[in-house]
């Protein structure tokens, strides 16, 4: 467990409700006492009727690049562009397609809102979409995947439709899972000739034309394409392809029992393991990767491992330090192809410190399992990644939801609460691809995304992208502590991170002159595992129009909220009063996650 570093800022929130608690009971309000020192009572009320479907032509934009928007925008609507809640530009609607030149500032998120003025005091939000303006995708990585490269993917419009949805969710990097021919010979072909079709490890057909088309379509959206492979895997015919026995990894000293990952019968081969730190093996795979990059316009290499293997030995009977071998492997791959990006999977955090400390991976990628199944474990991983990378790398989780379910749809409350926590903590979730991810074998589609969840997922990814500077712009060094006390007759319990059952948890950061407080709703959970293994997590008990009293010593000039669960993420300024070191304001709504910002 990494010790938390908290800035010496304390916020005391006294929560009360006007009207009935969602679970019953009256909540008396708090009346502001004498000595009021600051007051903002006139703000524009926000309502929403989300009827406008918006799209952009890319998933990510360079500073100064032209952005093309399309949508069924009413002629009497207005369009405004907001950065961290502040309107920076606004104009009247001018048809179903229009352009906006991205600002020159790098690494910024924007929320674009289509709205209509209902009256002088009310804005009606009709639709929203986020925009990421970053010169490099790893500033705010949002990772997706593809896992099927069969002939059907070459049918007209199939790949285009899949990537259009990923672009709508602002996915800016894509992992190509099990695209390869053999782990030790990934290309389907040679330097001289590319095969039309070959078999993957599961003996499925892979068409090189489909791989190429995915890359081309992704690049048209500004996405980066990363090819997947193990750091140390070979198949049973490896020696015929030039892999030496002396590179093997053994379970016992004395060259006994080569380590292996057993696969189902009918697959091409089991996967046999070699020493990733062996320089001859590294040079061998570098040559194979040259063939890959020669034929296929991949942007980098997504490197996998298999977690802790216990004590393992090399050809000479020496114990192998696998994390050190991983670091050596990463450095060799980067030296060979310095212009290509690298990601390395820390399975159950195994070797994560050595991976991040190389300085040659572009973000931290953690595949989390039962040993890290609690919500608090996600925080611990992000904190550890921050420390290991000197607070320079973002974190992405391969976290498989509803893992014990099959032949059904994903449970919406389980998915949204987990995404809310990951995003609020500053991470991202690998879950979107040519389908929604439910297993470590990415082609599996045992659990499917419903149309309702698909709509909600777009809202969550818009939110993470639009407010990325508040959520992911600073590492865990920016944390501040939030103290919450309810004075209601029927209390809604509040607590600081980590979460507790039957309560609302707050997680806060100080970002520049803004204090960002994330409210996460755990009121109806009966366990604190993010996995929702059986898909039974219930919908949360909503908190509606709840006045809160916040201890805040500095003079506040503005208080606003935004939530992916309300008004499609549009920001809403709040009326407030401030006296005697407290802010009194009404939190409009909390379903899964609401972000409140004090400036």
Burial class (CB in 10 A: 0-12, 13-18, 19+), 509: buried
For 591, phi then psi, to 5°, come to: -100, -80
Q: Which pLDDT value is given to residue 492?
A: 76
pLDDT digits (tens, 9 = 90+) for 26-61: 333 333 344 456 889 889 999 999 999 999 999 999
Mean pLDDT of the chain: 93
Q: E strand or H helix at 304, and its extent?
A: strand 300-304
CATH of 7-44+475-598, one of 3.30.710.10, 2.170.120.12, 3.40.50.150, 2.60.40.1180: 2.60.40.1180
pLDDT for position 581: 83
Task: Give the 3-state DSSP-derived string for 371-423, with helices as H, strands as E and coil as C.
Answer: HHCEHHHHHHHHHHHHHHCCCCCCEEEECCCCCCCCCEECCHHHHHHHHHHHH
In this prediction, residue 585 carries a pLDDT of 87
pLDDT at 22 over 70: no
Answer whether 69's CB lies under 8 Å from 98's CB.
yes
| pLDDT of 493 higher than 90 | no
Q: Which residues, other chains included, contact 366 with Cβ-Cβ below 8 Å and sequence gap of 6+?
A: 345, 346, 347, 349, 352, 372, 381, 385, 395, 396, 397, 398
Quick one: the chain helix, strand, coil %, rounded to 5? 20, 35, 45
pLDDT of 485 reads: 58
**What pTM value is reported for the model?**
0.94
Half-sphere CA count of 296, side-chain side, radius 13 A: 32
What would the mean pLDDT of 168-192 be, rounded to a whole number?
A: 98
Looking at residue 4, what DSSP letter applies? P
CA 544 to chain centre: 28
Q: What is the pLDDT of residue 490?
A: 66
- Nearest C-alpha neighbor of 127 from the set 114, 117, 118: 114
The domain ranges of the chain are 7-44+475-598, 48-133
Give the ranges where 263-374 is alpha helix by DSSP (H): 279-295, 322-336, 352-357
Q: What is the mean pLDDT of residues 457-484?
A: 94
pLDDT class of 486 with cuts at 50, 70, 90: low
Question: Residue 556: pLDDT above 60?
Answer: yes
List CB contacts of 79: < 8 A, sequence separation 6 or more.
Answer: 73, 90, 91, 92, 93, 98, 112, 113, 114, 115
| Tokens linked to 574 | 């709040």
Nearest to residue 303, comparing CAs of 230, 391, 220, 379? 230
- Report the pLDDT value the prediction gives residue 19, as an integer from 0 to 100: 35
Pairing of strands 250-252, 447-448: unpaired
pLDDT tens digits for range 326-365: 999 999 999 999 999 999 999 999 999 999 999 999 999 9
415 has a pLDDT exceeding 70: yes
Strand, helix or coil for residue 455: helix
Express each pLDDT in 227-281 by its tens digit: 999 999 999 999 999 999 999 999 999 999 999 999 999 999 999 999 999 999 9
Containing 469, the helix (H) or strand (E) segment is helix 468-471
Taking only the tens place, the pLDDT of each residue in 130-164 is 999 999 999 999 999 999 999 999 999 999 999 99
Upstream peptide bond of 498 is cis (omega within 30 degrees of 0) = yes
Separation between Cα atoms, residue 224 and residue 134, nearest integer Å: 13
The values of phi and psi at residue 191, to 5°, are -60, -35
As a whole number of angstroms, the distance between CA 401 and CA 250 comes to 34
Q: Residue 108 pLDDT more than 90?
A: yes
Q: How many helices (H) and strands (E) does the chain have?
A: 9, 37
Query: CATH assignment of 48-133?
Result: 2.60.40.10
% of the chain beyond a pLDDT of 70: 93
Tell me the percentage of the chain whose pLDDT exceeds 90: 87
Q: Over the stretch 235-249, which tens digit does the pLDDT of each residue have?
A: 999 999 999 999 999
Nearest to 477 by CA among 3, 112, 79, 5: 5
Can you tell me the mean pLDDT for 68-87?
Answer: 98
Question: What pLDDT is recorded for position 381?
Answer: 98
Q: How far is CA 123 from CA 79, 161, 556, in A?
A: 12, 33, 24
């Amino acid at each position: 467990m990494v010790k938390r570093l908290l800035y010496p800022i304390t916020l005391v929130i006294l929560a009360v409700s006007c009207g009935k608690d969602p679970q019953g009971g009256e909540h008396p309000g708090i009346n502001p006492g004498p000595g009021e020192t600051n007051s903002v009572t006139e703000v524009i009320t926000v309502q929403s009727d989300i009827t406008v479907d918006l799209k952009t032509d890319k998933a990510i934009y360079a500073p100064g690049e032209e952005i093309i928007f399309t949508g069924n925008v009413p002629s009497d609507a207005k369009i405004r562009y907001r950065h961290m809640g502040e309107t920076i530009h606004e104009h009247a609607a001018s048809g179903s397609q229009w352009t906006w030149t991205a600002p020159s500032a790098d690494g910024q998120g924007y929320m674009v809102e289509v709205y209509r003025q209902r009256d002088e005091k009310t804005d009606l939000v009709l639709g929203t979409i986020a925009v990421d303006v970053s010169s490099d995708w790893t500033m705010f990585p949002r990772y997706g995947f593809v896992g099927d490269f069969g002939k059907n993917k070459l049918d007209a419009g199939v790949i285009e439709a899949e990537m259009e949805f990923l672009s709508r969710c602002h996915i800016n990097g894509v992992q190509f899972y099990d695209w390869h021919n053999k782990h030790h010979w990934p290309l389907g072909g040679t330097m001289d000739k590319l095969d039309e079709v070959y078999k993957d490890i599961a003996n499925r057909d892979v068409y090189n034309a489909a791989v190429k088309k995915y890359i081309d379509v992704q690049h048209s959206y500004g996405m980066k394409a990363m090819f997947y492979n193990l750091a140390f895997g070979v198949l049973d015919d490896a020696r015929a392809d030039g892999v030496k026995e002396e590179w093997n990894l053994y379970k016992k000293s004395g060259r006994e029992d080569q380590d292996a990952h057993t696969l189902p019968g009918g697959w091409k081969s089991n996967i046999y393991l070699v020493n990733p730190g062996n320089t001859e093996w590294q040079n061998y795979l570098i040559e194979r990767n040259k063939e890959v990059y020669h034929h296929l316009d991949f942007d980098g290499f997504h490197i996998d491992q298999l977690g802790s293997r216990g004590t393992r030995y090399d050809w000479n009977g020496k114990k192998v330090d696998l994390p050190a071998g991983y670091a050596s492997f990463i450095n060799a791959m980067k030296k060979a192809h310095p212009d290509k990006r690298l990601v390395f999977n820390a399975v159950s955090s195994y070797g994560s410190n050595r991976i991040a400390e190389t300085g040659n991976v572009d973000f931290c990628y953690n595949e989390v399992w039962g040993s890290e199944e609690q919500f608090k474990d996600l925080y611990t991983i992000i904190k550890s990644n921050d420390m290991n990378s000197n607070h320079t790398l973002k974190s992405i989780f391969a976290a498989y939801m509803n893992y014990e379910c099959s032949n059904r749809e994903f449970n919406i409350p389980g998915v949204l609460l987990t995404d809310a926590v990951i995003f609020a903590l500053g991470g991202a979730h690998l879950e979107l691809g040519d389908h929604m991810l439910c297993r470590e074998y990415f082609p599996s589609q045992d659990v499917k995304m419903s149309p309702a969840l698909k709509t909600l997922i777009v809202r969550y990814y818009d939110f993470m992208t639009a407010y990325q500077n508040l959520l992911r712009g600073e590492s865990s060094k920016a944390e501040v502590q939030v103290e919450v006390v309810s004075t209601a007759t029927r209390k809604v319990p509040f607590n600081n991170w980590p979460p507790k059952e039957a309560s609302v948890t707050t997680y806060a950061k100080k970002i520049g002159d803004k204090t960002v407080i994330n409210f996460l709703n755990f009121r109806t959970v009966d366990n604190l595992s993010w996995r929702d293994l059986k898909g039974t997590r219930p919908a949360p008990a909503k908190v509606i129009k709840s006045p809160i009293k916040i201890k805040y010593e500095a003079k506040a000039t503005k208080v606003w909220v935004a939530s992916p669960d309300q008004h499609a993420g549009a920001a809403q300024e709040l009326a407030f009063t401030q006296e005697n070191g407290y802010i009194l304001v009404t939190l409009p709504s909390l379903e899964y996650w609401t972000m409140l910002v004090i400036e």
